[in-house]
């Protein structure tokens, strides 16, 4: 297929490259000249304007920073510029209301659209092992799979439009809570006289098992290799986790849900980011304990 990929940041660059590897012709756009150069080196055809990138494609994939930008790009540069019949897939993490609003605008203009946020981080984006949570009709989901599978280890139909964003906000709220608890337990183990590595060996095979402990251990030199072993560089930035927690709190308020642990996790990450740590991996909460 001919696919336009809009947004070639830490995640989008690797995702676009994997579409090229799968044999698709990728039209790439980003505001960054460096990102475009790298995309060109990876086999993408690069463009300096979104309408030109989407002009004759079968599908448009977007990976953008927030809902306002997603809405702006689709309304100004994609809807009406891409051919009728093109499939729209927004892989950004944004608020549910905007995801549904943009999909409705696309539908009114004769396009099919899905929200398809991802889980897995930069390494998974580069390796083609992301998990996609897709909000779309059954028919649109079947079409979306052909585009998403080269970038994925799993493509899961979450439900109707907007359900992908609901899944993402709930998943990342849970991840933040797990990470803070993991950091607290590792720090307590060490201060109480138990070798943190021994705690890891025990808890990772016990009821304390979770991804933050087993696969992304936030204590340097303990357990699984993670950004903790590189000064908390790379990985999933704390500022992005805070962004996702804010989306979850907005979603909880809108849905009338009570999320006290989510609210506390947001407060912890907010203080951490405001202290100048937004660029550090979200496991760096360990350093505050």
**Catalytic site residues?**
168
Q: Whats the size of the chain, residue-wise?
A: 289
- For residue 89 the two structure tokens come to 């897939």
CA dihedral 264, 267, 263, 228 (to 10 degrees): -70
Contact partners, residue 116, CB within 8 Å, separation at least 6: 89, 90, 91, 132, 133, 134, 135, 136, 144, 148, 164
Helix runs in 132-237, H state only: 138-148, 163-191, 196-203, 211-214
> Considering only CA atoms, which of 164, 79, 170 is closest in space to residue 117?
164
In degrees and rounded to multiples of 5, residue 60 shows phi and psi of -125, 125
- Bridge-based pairing of strands 45-47 and 59-62 is unpaired
Are 85 and 79 spatial neighbours (Cβ–Cβ below 8 Å)? Answer: no
> Considering only CA atoms, which of 114, 117, 63 is closest in space to residue 86?
114
Helix runs in the chain, H state only: 12-21, 33-41, 50-54, 67-73, 96-108, 121-127, 138-148, 163-191, 196-203, 211-214, 238-255, 260-272
- Bridge-based pairing of strands 130-135 and 118-119 is antiparallel
């Amino acid at each position: 297929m001919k696919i336009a990929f809009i947004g070639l940041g830490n995640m989008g660059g690797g995702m676009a490259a994997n579409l090229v590897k799968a044999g698709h012709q990728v039209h790439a756009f980003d505001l960054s000249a460096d990102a475009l150069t790298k995309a060109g080196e990876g086999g993408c055809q690069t463009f300096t304007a979104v309408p030109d990138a989407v002009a004759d494609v079968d599908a448009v994939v977007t990976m953008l920073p927030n809902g306002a930008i997603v809405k702006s790009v689709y309304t100004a540069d994609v809807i009406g510029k891409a051919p009728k019949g093109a499939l729209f897939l927004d892989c950004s993490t944004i608020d549910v209301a905007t995801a549904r609003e943009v999909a409705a605008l696309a539908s009114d203009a004769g396009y099919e659209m899905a929200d398809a946020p991802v889980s897995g981080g930069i390494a998974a984006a580069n390796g083609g092992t992301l998990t996609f949570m897709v909000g779309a009709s059954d028919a649109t989901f079947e079409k979306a799979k052909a585009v998403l599978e080269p970038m994925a280890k799993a493509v899961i139909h979450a439900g109707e439009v907007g359900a992908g964003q609901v899944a993402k906000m709930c998943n990342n709220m849970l991840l933040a809570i797990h990470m803070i608890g993991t950091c607290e337990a590792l720090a307590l183990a060490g201060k109480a006289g138990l070798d943190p590595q021994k705690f890891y060996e025990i808890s990772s095979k016990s009821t304390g098992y979770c991804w933050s402990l087993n696969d992304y251990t936030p204590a340097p030199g303990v357990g699984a290799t993670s950004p903790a072993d590189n000064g908390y560089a790379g990985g999933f930035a704390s500022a992005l986790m805070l962004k996702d927690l804010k989306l979850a709190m907005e979603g909880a308020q809108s849905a009338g849900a009570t999320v006290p642990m989510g609210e506390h996790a947001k407060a912890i990450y907010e203080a951490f980011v405001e202290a100048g740590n937004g660029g550090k991996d979200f496991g760096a909460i360990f350093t505050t304990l």
